[in-house]
């Protein structure tokens, strides 16, 4: 691979130089690396530099769909202008045809499409595989995880046969968003021997890993707790081939301030809220509940807080919410300043679009004009950029904006942290403010869970739910 535009080592920040140096210093027996630095520290540029230094071809990049073009294609096009870049997107038949027509120097595919074309991808001798946002393979049971681990295993087998390294790298700022068990599949992608465990299958190996490093208290049926020395043991294992830079340690970023703006339920909101709450508490007190029931009731309380309620017959009941007055107050305070506006429910997106009119630009899931819309927002054509953090938590560089408004929250810590770092990243020049519009009931409970890094789908604390509703 001959480079047309060389990325200078001196152009990198000091922490990026440290990362590439550690990668380049790895022995032949360790052709893999984990960049666990926080979002906004420039992990993509580090990988660009490594690609230029290693001179390998072809390269496979697996990443969320939202950053295939806006991050990877854009960066690769700048530093490898004379090389072919293939975005593997569309239906399964279309992707298979593209691979059959010929592999390119750089091939980019999203996690959801990967397992569907595994057989075709596995026939190619990849010299470098990058997993961007590698927590997408944290679920040992998912098809995408099984397929990606199988590809990595075959890549390692090729290395052992011809003694030529095939490189692998993972990138994530939150390697264990739920708990420490999440690291297993990500590290197993890098090395088949990192935990010194052998078993008949990857699932069996995971169970051995869990049994060795964790324990299950009898009173917590679904929870696994690390042994006292587990963190130190694992950190010692991965320290040899990983870095983890914090933004505050890398660059002098302006401060970010969180502002909680509370509101009270309006009359109709309160009536509906109390009906759902009482039903939920009755089921809890009578011990008739299931996890699914509790989660459904909590979702209904979130909907009521935002001014609507879905019914089983697909009908939607809409009503006024106290959130609107608070939102308008924040907008008045912002003046002409721009802000990212995060929502979670489709119904809320519809309301916010109507309420804000021509001030808001909406990024929808699967939007094909992401870059064009971002440029329009950057140019000041709109004051607010509305999006769901589930769809656009990753990859977007929006550090020209310094405000975030949270219309709604959900339980997902990773998407919360990632969406926050769309503005809190290298290049930000202004002090940042994150506004939370929450009531002191269910929404305050979710907020507290995010701050304490608890996950509702891991463990239901019934006593805390009863107190918070």
> In sequence order, what DSSP letters do the residues of 60-86 get, joined into one string?
EEEE-GGGIIIIIIHHHHHH-TTS-EE
Q: Which CATH number fits domain 256-468: 3.40.50.300, 1.10.150.120, 1.10.3720.10, 3.40.50.720?
A: 3.40.50.300
Q: What is the C-alpha to C-alpha distance for residues 96 and 114, in angstroms, rounded to an integer?
A: 11
pLDDT of residue 219: 75
Q: What is the C-alpha to C-alpha distance for residues 155 and 468, in angstroms, rounded to an integer?
A: 50
Q: What angle do CA 102, 120, 67 make, to 5 degrees?
A: 75
7 sits in which H/E element: none
Distances in whole angstroms, Cα of residue 207 to Cα of each of 2, 194, 228, 377: 45, 15, 19, 48
The pair of structure tokens assigned to 424 is 């809190």
Q: Which residues pair with 33 in a beta bridge?
A: 169
The pair of structure tokens assigned to 430 is 């202004």
pLDDT of residue 414: 82
Report phi then psi at 345, rounded to 5: -95, 140
- The CATH 3.40.50.300 domain(s) of the chain lie at 256-468
The pair of structure tokens assigned to 292 is 């699914």
**Which position has the token pair 């002409």?**
336
3-state helix, strand, coil in the chain (%, to 5): 50, 15, 35
Q: Which residues pair with 438 in a beta bridge?
A: 262
pLDDT of residue 457: 46
* Burial grade of 246 (CB within 10 A; 0-12, 13-18, 19 or more): exposed
Number of neighbours of residue 42 by Cβ within 10 angstroms = 24
* pTM higher than 0.75: no
The pair of structure tokens assigned to 218 is 């009898």
- The CATH 3.40.50.10810 domain(s) of the chain lie at 9-249
Provide the residue-wise pLDDT of the chain in tens; the chain has 469 residues.
Answer: 554 557 788 888 888 999 999 998 888 778 999 999 887 788 899 999 999 998 889 999 999 886 788 689 888 998 998 899 999 998 999 999 999 999 999 999 999 999 999 999 999 999 999 999 899 999 999 999 999 999 999 988 888 788 888 999 999 987 887 789 999 999 999 998 888 888 888 899 999 999 999 998 877 777 889 999 999 999 998 998 999 988 777 766 788 888 888 888 999 999 999 988 888 787 777 666 666 777 888 889 999 999 999 876 678 889 899 899 889 988 888 888 899 999 999 999 999 999 999 999 998 877 778 888 889 999 999 999 999 988 876 778 898 999 999 999 988 888 888 888 888 888 888 888 899 999 989 899 889 888 776 554 445 565 666 666 6
* 9-249 has CATH 3.40.50.1970 classification: no
Q: What is the C-alpha to C-alpha distance for residues 306 and 295, in angstroms, rounded to an integer?
A: 17
Cis peptide before 58 (omega within 30 of 0): yes
């Amino acid at each position: 691979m001959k480079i047309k535009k060389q990325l200078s080592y001196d152009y990198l920040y000091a922490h990026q130089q440290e990362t590439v140096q550690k990668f380049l210093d790895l022995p032949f027996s360790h052709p893999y690396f984990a960049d666990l630095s926080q979002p906004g520290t420039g992990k993509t540029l580090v990988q660009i530099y490594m690609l230029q230094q290693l001179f390998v071809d072809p390269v496979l990049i697996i990443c969320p769909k939202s950053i295939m073009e806006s991050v990877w294609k854009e960066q690769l096009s700048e530093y490898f202008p004379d090389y072919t870049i293939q975005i593997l997107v569309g239906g399964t038949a279309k992707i298979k045809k593209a691979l059959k027509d010929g592999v390119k120097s750089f091939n980019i595919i999203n996690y959801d499409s990967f397992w569907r074309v595994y057989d075709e991808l596995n026939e190619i001798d990849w010299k470098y595989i990058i997993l961007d946002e590698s927590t997408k393979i944290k679920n040992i049971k998912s098809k995408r995880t099984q397929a990606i681990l199988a590809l990595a295993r075959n890549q390692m087998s090729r290395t052992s046969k011809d003694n030529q390294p095939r490189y692998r790298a993972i990138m994530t700022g939150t390697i264990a968003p739920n708990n420490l068990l999440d690291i297993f599949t990500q590290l197993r992608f890098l090395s088949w021997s990192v935990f010194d465990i052998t078993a008949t299958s990857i699932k069996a190996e995971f169970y051995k890993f869990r049994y060795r490093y964790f324990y299950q208290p009898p009173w917590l049926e679904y929870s696994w707790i690390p042994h006292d020395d587990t963190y130190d043991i694992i950190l010692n294992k991965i320290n040899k081939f990983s870095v983890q830079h914090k933004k505050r340690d890398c660059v002098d970023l302006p401060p970010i301030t969180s502002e909680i703006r509370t509101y009270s339920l309006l009359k109709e909101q309160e009536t509906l809220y109390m009906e759902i709450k009482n039903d939920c508490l009755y089921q809890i007190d009578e011990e008739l509940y299931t996890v699914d029931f509790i989660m459904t009731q909590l979702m209904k309380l979130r909907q009521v807080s935002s001014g609507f309620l879905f019914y089983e017959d697909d009908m939607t009941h809409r009503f006024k919410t106290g959130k609107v007055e608070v939102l308008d107050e924040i907008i008045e305070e912002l003046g002409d300043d721009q802000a990212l506006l995060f929502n979670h429910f489709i119904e809320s997106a519809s309301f916010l679009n109507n309420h804000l009119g021509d001030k808001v630009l909406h990024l929808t899931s699967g939007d094909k004009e992401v870059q064009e819309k971002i440029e329009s927002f950057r140019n000041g054509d709109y004051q607010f950029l509305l999006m769901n953090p589930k769809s656009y938590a990753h990859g977007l560089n929006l550090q020209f904006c310094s405000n975030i408004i949270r219309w709604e929250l959900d339980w997902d810590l990773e998407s919360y942290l990632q969406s926050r770092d769309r503005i809190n990243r290298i290049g930000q020049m202004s002090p940042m403010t994150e506004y939370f519009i929450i009531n002191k009931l269910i929404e305050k409970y979710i907020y507290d869970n995010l701050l304490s890094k608890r996950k509702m789908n891991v463990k239901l604390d019934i006593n805390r739910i009863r107190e918070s509703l």
